[in-house]
Amino acid sequence: MRSIWIHSSYMQALSPDVLLSALELQDELLGTTQDFNPGRYSGLPPPGDPNAPLSPAQRDALHVVNGLTDQSWAFQSPLLYWNCSRERILADEDILATVNDRKNQSTPANITLRHSIVFSGKRFEDRRLLAADALVITLLYRNASPVGRHWEDVAPSLPAKVGDKWDIYPANGQVSGSQLYEFKFRPITAQDSIIFAVAYAVALLYFLINLTKLRAIKSKFGLIVTVIAQILLSIVSSLTVCAFLNLDLSRIPRAAYPLIVLIMSLDHILRLMNALIRTPSEDSTSNRIGYAFGEIAPAALATSIQNCAILIALSRVVSPGVSEFCIFAAVAIVLDTFYLSTFFLSVLSVDVRRMELGDALAKESMRRNRNANYSRNSSWVKRIVQGKIALSTRVAGTLVVLGFVFIAQSRFFSDRDISRRLSQLYGGKNLEPSLPSPLKTSLLNEIHQARSPTSWLLLQDHDAAHEIIRIIKPSAYSYIARVYEPLVFVKKGSNRAPRMKESILSPAVLDFINHQLTPLVFIDVLVVFLLRRLTAYLLPDDKAKREGLSDSSEEPSLGVKTLSGGHCLDIAMLAYSSGGYAVSVGLDRKICLWSLNNEDRCFTISDPERDIGIKFPVLAIAIDEDSEWLAILSSDAVTFWNIATNVQGPIIAAETYNQKPTAFFLDPNVSSNIPRPVIVWKNGTVVDIEPASGESREFMLCSGLTCARQLISIAGEHQSPTVFLIATSRNGDIHVVERIGMSWGEQKVFTGKLVVDEIHQVVPLSPLAYFLASSKSDVHLINLNDGSTAWSFSIENLRPRSLDCAFSCHRASNAMSIGLKSFTLSYQALDSGDGILHTFTPHEDDDAIFLQNYGIDRAISGWCGWSEAVQTTKRIDNPGVWRLLYDGSAIGLRRRPRTESRNRQQKAISSVRNRLPNAKSQEVGAFNCWELWRAAPGDRQDIDEITPLFPSDEDPGQMIVCEPGPGVKFGESSVAFAFGNVIKVATLSGYKPSGINEVSHESLMNMPTRRRKGGTMARPTGT
């Protein structure tokens, strides 16, 4: 490979006179080349004497286009843009336009005349060639080619012929310096494609498997899109940076670049998601994101620095193509870490599902507290192997990067380069001194070449190599050429001093400013606007989310509001419906309906001044599931009230004997407009009343009835709920009967389940087909269908009918296998009077607790049994009146322990007789002694809290209360307490407001009254 470089004044090589002079030099070295078309001499026999001068026809017959032989040759020249015609050059009025328009023109040998091949020292503007410093004419020939010998013979004579017009380097025209150089182009084979496909499939499968384990994400499809967007951003940004650094990334297959970024991105993303799962659930979303990022940020930074250092070190010893790939990977790792901490973190904070995340995070938080000692005592090596610390992930990611670099080196380049370069670094001998080594630096410093020959040669891309390989060695992917140093011609009188002031900005930056800046600004503004709208849609500006932005350490999460103005005397009975309505019955013979969806508006249904046919005392009240009808059981009738229209419905006579029923509820599965009331009396009789006709039907459930409750079970997703009636008797039997159509079905009796002659209680676990049955010291989890005992709980002696339960199901539960993410029992201890929260959570390595019969499916699902579940117990001193929420936490109202002297207490007690507050009563703290408390499930104490029932600046303006009235759960996050003639509603902030779109699983029946002592009675609930 021989070449000549033709220079004029600095960056003035494209002037017509230089082109014409270059044509003269080309014709001297090659012979006449005007209208060069060697294909027309195909088939002409070669000359008999190889040393004899060649005619143009003989020369063209040896061209490689006419067949590859040992005498073949080809050349590349910018003059081919004009087909080496002097007339065309003189007639061309716009040389630059011709050069730019024909940059993809091919030579007769089918080699593209790229600007990088035929020019040196180029200057571009607006993506078009503006100037060039040198014209490069290159001859490619086989060793036996007469054309090559002719070049070698003529070159030494040029100083004598054209020395008056040119300064020639070397001055004698003889070029002796040369070097073997290897040109490579290895295309992607089918095997390479399979390897890349397998690598992508494994990486994506690994990501999807880990994604299925994350329960804290609202949109997993959105997360996948976010990950893809982050990887694309990292790749595009890295390519841009590498372009500024003038790195040639064409030597490694393009499919490798996204793969290496994908692997490193998944490492950081999955660690961030796992850290997010472990953050405390009571914190706001922004705090949880901050805690998680703070946990993984040091490891992510260490990983990035570690991998970048390794890649930079490898770039010094591997082949040039792999070296540039290492630099790209290092840049991509840095940018990916940046996008992780900005773009991905922002999207993740929007995408977190709060309620579902709270369940998962609460469980993980409790596991972390339970296993703190275990983690400290675990083997460090064992934790690395199990993947429980980030070091294993960092090692794995580093091994993947190292493996990929070495595979690329051995697959696409000579793996001997590494050993050679390492030997040079350590002072050893060059293992291959002749193949390849860089060309010697040109000594022509005085002519100020814009680009040196070595730099020009390294600039040739793989496409040019591919075209030459296709001609001389079609089945190969590399060729070795002896590259001679160029013969340089500088036109006499030329000014080689750089006159054009170099721009501070690189051409790539200038091109970006001129062509991409405006679209970028427009796209950025559009993206910011769309993201803002998307964020506003995903995070509506409601009160709960605004409160979530406040610091939970400064503002209590337990709030209280007062519903007043409905009653003059104490409230004796409370009920709540899923539609946001509450019903209160007072000793003043008033029945009030509270609309919590309409600014707590109160409507009086019945009062002494307006007789609507309700005879007091009221024995029980019930509201249907649709919050449309209220049923009031009085001493002689059942009165219906339409909640939506505030219109009285039918009044149906009923014989009650002024006895309070054991259970009173409305059947949700009815064909008529008005639901059918069901009354269960203490003698075991069940009465069905038909509202339309007023008829009633009775049947005997059991004798010696001790407790009865309704259970609503939903067997399938699209099936209507099934109503069951569960009752216990004094002899310890459990009776179950199912509602079938208009009547009750066959009765099932489960004998000997409970202790004989004790007070029993039933807690339905709606909508599951299970219930809890308890006596004084036994609690059993029983299957509704076959009466089998799924588990028996060991608890303290409990006060009669104080048992309650809250649970949450795993999302993978189905009709055959039901899993629980948490299960909380609450009751009041008989001896100490303490409130007790008994919580069961899965083991650290499991996701849920099998409700029953887990032996066969355990290995598949990873769930545990009751015996392996982790149990935590929390005690609340002096609980007062309290209720259990759906998440397993409890809210209660109690009196603070008094510190005043006994005579002060006597004064306070005597003032109760007046029942109206005065200055003296307020001095002794008649209202300040009451407080609300909240206890979370598990053994965490840091989120429990206490707040005064009356803020310091609030005027109570109500009757003094000795003991609070009944309490009832209001939706998912609130509990209402009857406090004298008002209702105090305690609400946990961060939840959606109670009373809107809640789902209750049982009717409000058998409501507690003021005659029951605080804390001795709890209404059964389920979630």
Segment 173-194, tens digit of pLDDT: 888 888 887 776 666 777 778 8
Structural domain count of the chain: 4
Same domain, residue pair 908 and 882 = yes
Non-local (6+) Cβ contacts of 32 within 8 A are 56
Question: Is 271 a residue whose pLDDT tops 60?
Answer: yes
Same domain, residue pair 852 and 714 = yes
* DSSP label of 577: -
SS3 752: coil
- Per-residue pLDDT of 920-951, as tens digits, reads 444 445 667 889 999 988 877 767 888 888 87
pLDDT, residue 910, reads 37
Same domain, residue pair 618 and 529 = no
User: Would residue 1018 count as lying in a domain?
Assistant: no
Burial of 502 (0-12, 13-18, 19+ CB in 10 A): exposed
For CA atoms 883, 888, 891, 892, the dihedral sign is positive
Task: Average the pLDDT over each of 90-104, 160-174, 664-678 and give the range with the smallest value.
Answer: 664-678
Question: Is 1020 a residue whose pLDDT tops 70?
Answer: no
> How many other C-beta atoms can be found within 10 angstroms of the C-beta atom of residue 374?
9
The CATH number covering residue 656 comes to: 2.130.10.10
- Per-residue pLDDT of 285-335, as tens digits, reads 777 788 888 888 888 888 888 888 988 888 888 877 788 888 988 998 899
Confidence label for 664 from pLDDT (cuts 50, 70 and 90): very high
pLDDT, residue 768, reads 87
Whether the full predicted model's pTM is greater than 0.85, yes or no, is no
Same domain, residue pair 523 and 640 = no
Helix then strand then coil, in percent of the chain rounded to 5, is 35, 25, 40
**Whole-angstrom Cα distance, residue 779 to residue 979?**
32
The arithmetic mean of pLDDT across residues 743-766, rounded, is 87
Give the residue from 383, 402, 425 where a domain finishes: 425
Are β-strands 581-586 and 591-595 bridged in parallel, bridged antiparallel, or unpaired? antiparallel
Question: Is 216 a residue whose pLDDT tops 60?
Answer: no
Q: Which residue has tokens 């991105």?
A: 265
Confidence label for 759 from pLDDT (cuts 50, 70 and 90): confident
Number of H helices, E strands in the chain: 26, 42
Confidence label for 427 from pLDDT (cuts 50, 70 and 90): very low
Question: Is 153 a residue whose pLDDT tops 50?
Answer: yes
Burial of 719 (0-12, 13-18, 19+ CB in 10 A): exposed
Of 595, 507, 592, the closest CA to residue 244 belongs to 507
> Which phi and psi (to 5°) does residue 257 adopt?
-70, -50
Q: How many CA atoms, within 13 angstroms, populate the side-chain half-sphere of residue 815?
A: 8
Q: How many CA atoms, within 13 angstroms, populate the side-chain half-sphere of residue 393?
A: 21
pLDDT, residue 1015, reads 35
Give the residue from 425, 456, 472 where a domain finishes: 425
Query: Kind and range of the H or E element at 870?
Result: strand 870-876
Mean pLDDT, all residues of the chain: 77
The arithmetic mean of pLDDT across residues 906-910, rounded, is 38
Do the Cβ atoms of 662 and 680 come closer than 8 Å? yes
User: Would residue 1015 count as lying in a domain?
Assistant: no
Question: Is 478 a residue whose pLDDT tops 80?
Answer: no
CA 71 to the chain's CA centroid: 65
Are β-strands 487-491 and 2-7 bridged in parallel, bridged antiparallel, or unpaired? parallel
Give the residue from 385, 410, 425 where a domain finishes: 425
Confidence label for 361 from pLDDT (cuts 50, 70 and 90): very low
> How many other C-beta atoms can be found within 10 angstroms of the C-beta atom of residue 342?
12
Strand order from edge to edge, sheet including 663-667: 663-667, 676-680, 685-689, 696-700
Same domain, residue pair 516 and 496 = no
Of 568, 553, 558, 565, the closest CA to residue 931 belongs to 558
SS3 540: coil
Of 312, 348, 313, 318, the closest CA to residue 330 belongs to 312
Same domain, residue pair 346 and 328 = yes
Do the Cβ atoms of 809 and 818 come closer than 8 Å? yes
Residue 780: C-alpha distances to residues 441, 754, 793, 803 (Å): 90, 9, 6, 12
Taking every pair of Cα atoms in the chain, the longest distance, rounded to a whole number of angstroms, is 139
- Per-residue pLDDT of 490-512, as tens digits, reads 999 888 887 656 566 666 677 77
257 versus 677: which is more confidently predicted? Answer: 677
User: Would residue 786 count as lying in a domain?
Assistant: yes
User: Would residue 1000 count as lying in a domain?
Assistant: no
> How many other C-beta atoms can be found within 10 angstroms of the C-beta atom of residue 490?
21
Q: Which residue has tokens 């080349």?
A: 33
- Per-residue pLDDT of 777-834, as tens digits, reads 889 999 988 888 889 998 899 998 899 999 988 766 666 678 888 899 999 998 899 9
pLDDT, residue 715, reads 59
Partnered with residue 967 across adjacent β-strands are 977
User: Would residue 1021 count as lying in a domain?
Assistant: no
Confidence label for 92 from pLDDT (cuts 50, 70 and 90): very high
By residue range, what is the domain housing residue 24?
Answer: 2-179+485-502
> Which phi and psi (to 5°) does residue 35 adopt?
50, 50
Do the Cβ atoms of 834 and 876 come closer than 8 Å? yes
Which percentage of the chain shows pLDDT scores above 70?
76
Do the Cβ atoms of 927 and 950 come closer than 8 Å? yes
Question: Is 23 a residue whose pLDDT tops 90?
Answer: yes
Same domain, residue pair 758 and 631 = yes
Confidence label for 101 from pLDDT (cuts 50, 70 and 90): very high
Partnered with residue 403 across adjacent β-strands are none
Question: Is 859 a residue whose pLDDT tops 50?
Answer: no
Same domain, residue pair 174 and 308 = no
Torsion-angle region of residue 2: left (phi > 0), alpha (psi -120 to 50) or beta? beta
Crossing angle (nearest 10°) for helices 517-538 and 507-515: 60
**Whole-angstrom Cα distance, residue 840 to residue 861?**
18
Confidence label for 1017 from pLDDT (cuts 50, 70 and 90): very low
**Whole-angstrom Cα distance, residue 784 to residue 709?**
13
Same domain, residue pair 417 and 498 = no
Are β-strands 629-633 and 620-623 bridged in parallel, bridged antiparallel, or unpaired? antiparallel
pLDDT, residue 30, reads 92
The arithmetic mean of pLDDT across residues 715-742, rounded, is 81
7 versus 481: which is more confidently predicted? Answer: 7
**Whole-angstrom Cα distance, residue 162 to residue 139?**
20
Of 930, 950, 840, 946, the closest CA to residue 890 belongs to 946
**Whole-angstrom Cα distance, residue 567 to residue 591?**
8
- Per-residue pLDDT of 594-625, as tens digits, reads 888 777 788 888 877 766 668 888 999 999 88
480 versus 873: which is more confidently predicted? Answer: 873
The string of DSSP codes covering 252-321 is S-TTHHHHHHHHHHHHHHHHHHHHHHTS-TTS-HHHHHHHHHHHHHHHHHHHHHHHHHHHHHHHTTS-HH
Which percentage of the chain shows pLDDT scores above 90?
20
**Whole-angstrom Cα distance, residue 398 to residue 395?**
5
The arithmetic mean of pLDDT across residues 41-53, rounded, is 73
Rounded (5°) CA angle 869-871-874: 160
Q: How many CA atoms, within 13 angstroms, populate the side-chain half-sphere of residue 605?
A: 31
User: Would residue 413 count as lying in a domain?
Assistant: yes
pLDDT, residue 541, reads 46
Confidence label for 860 from pLDDT (cuts 50, 70 and 90): very low
CA 291 to the chain's CA centroid: 15
**Whole-angstrom Cα distance, residue 1017 to residue 1006?**
11
**Whole-angstrom Cα distance, residue 595 to residue 578?**
11
What letters, b where the CB count within 10 A reaches 16 and e where it falls short, cover 741-772? Answer: eeebeeebebeebbeeebbbbbbbbbbbbbbb
pLDDT, residue 236, reads 87
Do the Cβ atoms of 919 and 934 come closer than 8 Å? no
User: Would residue 205 count as lying in a domain?
Assistant: no
Same domain, residue pair 779 and 769 = yes
Same domain, residue pair 529 and 565 = no
CA-based R_g, the chain, Å: 44
pLDDT, residue 882, reads 92
**Whole-angstrom Cα distance, residue 36 to residue 105?**
14
Task: Average the pLDDT over each of 167-171, 464-468, 734-738 and give the range with the smallest value.
Answer: 464-468
Same domain, residue pair 516 and 585 = no
User: Would residue 1010 count as lying in a domain?
Assistant: no
Do the Cβ atoms of 769 and 783 come closer than 8 Å? yes
Question: Is 1014 a residue whose pLDDT tops 50?
Answer: no
What ranges make up the beta strands (E) of 643-795? 647-653, 663-667, 676-680, 685-689, 696-700, 705-713, 722-729, 734-740, 743-744, 748-750, 761-764, 770-774, 778-783, 789-794
Non-local (6+) Cβ contacts of 429 within 8 A are 423
